[in-house]
Structures are given as structure tokens and as C-alpha cells.
Amino acid sequence: MVERVSRSHPECSKPTVCGPWASPLKFFESPNMPPRLGNPDLGLGVGLRTVHFNHILSEWPAVDWFEIISENFLNSQGRPRYVLDQIAERYPIVMHGVSLSIGSTDPLNFEYLKKLALLARQVQARWISDHVCWTGVAGRNTHDLLPVPLNEESLAHMVERVRVVQSVLERPLVLENPSSYLTFADSTMPEWEFLSQLADQANCGLLLDVNNVYVSSVNHDFDPVEYIERVPHDRVVQYHLAGHTNCGTHCIDTHDGAVIDAVWELYERARRLTGGVSTLLEWDANIPEFPVVHAEVQKAKQFFDASTSLKAPGRSSASGTAESLPSSRGPWPARGAVSNPLAFIVAGDA
């Protein structure tokens, strides 16, 4: 059942969330979470970008849904908001944020959360997502998605903050694995395990960015296939796909081109494990015309017929025996030492 918003609820004077999130606290405490937290598979979507506004309003393309960057519309009442309102009347909208800073030690910004909740009601957002990261400290915003130490202390800190955010938003939060370029010496678990425990303890959803898995696997020398196999597949609400820049010794998540074959192969494997999940293409630099972006995400259709035919290692099949995944087709990045991945950024070329 898709979350809807009643703009004139007879029993209250403000918009009311109806559907599976109508009783949010009860929903968060439920031990039997439905796949995707009860969210629908919206199909194939693209990120809403200003360069495509005129094309969308004139052509109303046959795209399944749009994802917006939440911060671009929180304080806007000009043309961007007018365009968004027009689009929201015709397409499902998902909100994707970059300023929640769920991993920061700064207090949560409740004014920001209230604005998120209001915008979500106004555009009938299907869900709200952000990143497993921190973006600033001491009141300063770095405008970057910074990695967190992957240990029990960070986990407990973030679980509590996610619970508070979900109470304010009155809906489950969906969190994305970011790309990263350094790790912490005091991390005690792989990222997939951190995400699994976070989703389980906070009862939130996951946005699995397949390109980020690939980028981070190159930068930190881990197996991207194991990552895909080990995340909790029933918690995956959405996928991200994107292009990146391979710098030889490391990769940068630039969102400036087409999806490479190795990322498509990871997506195919993930989709076999999760079944149908809303899939979105991000293209944020060197953005081509809308039909090019739309055609790129449409490539995902080739993997639809193969969905749900695999099980992760160690998970029982219907017969009670454990099944293992076939080996990957690759090609995967060569394993070995990776030179300082921050050199590309420090040099000022990013």
C-alpha cells in the first residue's frame, strides 16, 4: 500500500499521513517488517535536475518516478518549487537529502527535520532518504559526505539518532551507503555489517548505491560481491546507479557519465537477491539531454526477468539447504595496494 497524503483530513487541520505509516511508532517497533518496509517498487526513475525542467514540462516523458535533492526545495518558493509541484501531480516523488548528518556529534537540526516533513507532505513523497555519514561539526557544514568509524560506539550513536529522526518525520528513514576515500583505524566491522545492524536496530530502510559499493571496493580493496551478498536484502528500499571517474589508483564518485559494465553486473546480482526494487540513475555533472539520461536507466530492464533467482550464502532455500552464488563474471578491479586516494582531492582537481 502506497503512502498517501490527505490534504483535507476531516479530523484535523493539517495534512495527515495515511497508509502503512499512519501509526509510525507501532510500525517502527514491529518485529515483522515487510520487504522494502512496505514500499512499492516504483520502477525506473531519474534524478530531477534543473537543466531538464523545460523538457519535462513540455514533453511529460514516460519515466516512472523522480528523485529530488531535498535541500534544493526546502526554502524555495520560486520557479523550482513551481516545477516540482507540477511534476509531483503527475509522477511519484522520492526525497533524497545530503544534510541530515546522521553520524555527526552535533545535535540534530529539528528545524531542518520539520522542513523535510512539511515538504514530504506537500509533494506526497514516497520516502525520505539520506546518507550514512556526517557533513559537519560545531555548526559548520562541509557540504561533503564524510565517512564514519564502523564500530559499536558509532553504531549506537547513529541508531539513537535515526530513531529520533523517524519519530519527527513520522515515517521510516532510508539510508544510503556513501562512497568513501579513507577508513578509520578503529573500525571493527565491514560496512555491510554496520549497515545491517543499523537497519535492524533502528528499524530503518537502506538505499543501496551499487556504484558506491564498486567505488569504495576499489579504494579500500574489499570484495564488492560479498558486500552485495551480505547486506540485508529485505531492507533495501531503493537502488542508485551512476557513473564515476577511475583515476587509476582510486575511483571518485563523480556522477558524470554512463554506468560501467562492472556496476551493471553488481546491480544484476543485487536485484536477483532483493527482487524488484525502485531503481534510480544519478547524473550530476556533464549532464546530457533528458532522453540520454532516461535511456541509461532503461538499461536496467534487461535484468528484470532474472530477479529473485539467487539466495545469499548461508541463507536457507525452500528445501532447507544453503545455496551459494555463482562466481562473478567481472571484470573486477585488481587487488593490491591503493595509493593515497585523497591526493586527487587535495591537489584541487576534483
Whole-number Å distance between alpha carbons of 195 and 201: 10
Cell 556496476 found at: 263
Residue 194, pLDDT above cutoff 90:
yes
Beta strands 44-47 and 65-69, pairing class: parallel
Q: Which residues have a Cβ under 8 Å from the Cβ of 185 and sit 6 or more positions away?
A: none
Give the tens place of pLDDT for each residue, 12-33: 333 334 334 444 444 444 556 6
- Contact between 87 and 52 (Cβ < 8 Å): no
Give the tens place of pLDDT for each residue, 294-338: 999 999 999 987 554 444 443 323 333 223 333 333 444 443 333
Residue 137, SS3? strand
Whether the predicted model's global pTM rises above the 0.75 cut: yes
Cell 558506491 found at: 212
Which range has the top average pLDDT, 7-11, 86-90, 146-150, 336-340? 86-90
Cell of 310: 539467487
Instruction: Please choose, from the candidates 188, 191, 195, the residue with its C-alpha nearest in 3D space to the C-alpha of residue 223.
Output: 191
Give the tens place of pLDDT for each residue, 48-90: 999 999 999 999 999 999 999 999 999 888 999 999 999 999 9
Give the tens place of pLDDT for each residue, 195-206: 999 999 999 999
Average pLDDT of the chain to the nearest whole number: 83
Domains and CATH numbers, the chain: 37-303 (3.20.20.150)
